[in-house]
Structure 1
């Protein structure tokens, strides 16, 4: 992995070359109403590679590029290289350890994401899995919040969280979803086994279609008036309960 901060590049041809060279693009910002042959070439590459895009006014691009000649396009390159999930699962299951994975179902806040990565590294998580679209990017703020842990924990991107669930369950890895839509407490579930913990987004939780696939559902006891915990805090509780059971 490359230990650097996020790079911003601008210009249609520069972004095309970055994509064709295999660079991991976090997001591409395109000027509203942009047209032309080079734009259509870039747009085709973006769609083929399923890169997140945002159509923005020219003023936004001016700020991102510091008023350089951006030609209506600015891209943010990820500071890390993402891992192949199938290969990571294979490598982890071949180790003399109990696999522990973490799936994040469209967590969008970079500070929450960074805090979760930091806790994951401290609790021995073997890999973090995020969805291609709708997830917070791995950018400079994510890395700062993670205290550099983003360079230490393997992170994988998949088209959909359900794709990851299929792969994990096929390898005998049990899945447990953190959700209030259950009567089962996290303290009553066996976390000392090959496991993947799923955390939902800040606003809607775990997608219902994902909940239908998991092996276990677990909730945290809430004794006060507030109905939910911050997702990074809840994730920390589940991960450390897993650690407690495994020690």
Structure 2
């Protein structure tokens, strides 16, 4: 493994730029996976990273050494940094010192919806986005489409919240949701407080797309008008609304329940 000890090293400067700048990550079409769990998930589902970076004190850690061995076996470059240089790259406090540099998914969105999917309109919070991705992957949903203005799906915060879900999903960013919905061959369901139809009354045992919006403003009215159905999640009147990530999880797993039982009740 190559050792880098100077903060003036060209590769280290590049890593520092990627770690600290969203625009640098976007320009390079790269991102960082921080910590053992994300690195293991990537190896399991996607293979070797572009680069494996390890802090000197963690090289002999039992989980890290296993990851390094797999990376080297697959021909990935691995470097060791002094702990102080590594910590300047990591956003995880008191974590095990390993991170991957990977290519951020830049796949082009399909022209038509045909499998279970999630559409996210101007979703802002990285934690909410990561949680929705995690729930979607857990529910067997395959595709996620994010509108322009949504949080970056491949940012370090979203990756940490997603806990490896990214590598089980097809994620498409900067998608014109109006065009996508208009060309859809499957129903589009949006949650709303202005309907009496609950998610427990509608047939979810079929391919469909869920539409969720901005944390405060909800789904854009023009998009809402294009939805096939609006559904609500029954709740106590004292609570005005649920967190969007919680709402999404409830919807996804009611769909799973209906797929298992074949019934809406």
TM superposition score category, shorter chain reference: 0.5 to 0.7
Distance 1:144 1:25, change over 3 A: closer
Aligned counterpart for 2:140 among listed residues 87, 109, 124: 124
Aligned counterpart for 1:83 among listed residues 107, 110, 117: 107
Q: Which residue of 1 aligns with 2:125?
A: 109
Q: Which residue of 2 aligns with 1:240?
A: 253
For structure 2, the 5+ residue unaligned runs are 1-14, 32-87, 90-100, 261-265
Residue 163 (str. 1) matches residue 174 (str. 2): no
Larger Rg: 2
Residue 214 (str. 1) matches residue 227 (str. 2): yes
Q: Which residue of 2 aligns with 1:68?
A: none
Residue 24 (str. 1) matches residue 29 (str. 2): yes
Q: Which residue of 1 aligns with 2:151?
A: 136
Q: Which residue of 1 aligns with 2:162?
A: 146
Distance 1:204 1:79, change over 3 A: farther
Aligned residues of 2:143 and 2:169 also touching (Cα < 8 A): yes
Aligned residues of 2:142 and 2:168 also touching (Cα < 8 A): no
**Residues 6-85 of structure 1: matches in 2 within 5 Å?**
7-8=18-19, 19=27, 23-24=28-29, 80-85=104-109
Q: Deviations over 1:130-153 (max 9, x none)?
A: 012x20112111111111112221
Q: Deviations over 1:178-231 (max 9, x none)?
A: 111222111111111120000111010010000111110001111251111010
**Residues 180-195 of structure 1: matches in 2 within 5 Å?**
180-195=193-208
Taking structure 2 as the reference length, what is the TM-score of the superposition?
0.59
Q: Secondary structure at the match of 1:182?
A: coil
Aligned residues of 1:176 and 1:197 also touching (Cα < 8 A): yes
CA distance in 2, matches of 1:200, 1:83: 22
Distance 1:102 1:141, change over 3 A: same
Post-superposition offset of 1:163 = 2.0
Aligned residues of 1:129 and 1:164 also touching (Cα < 8 A): no
Instruction: Name the count of aligned residue pairs.
Output: 176
CA distance in 2, matches of 1:203, 1:79: 32
Q: Which residue of 2 aligns with 1:178?
A: 191
Query: Structure 1 stretches (4+) deviating beyond 3 angstroms?
Result: 23-26
CA distance in 2, matches of 1:198, 1:189: 15
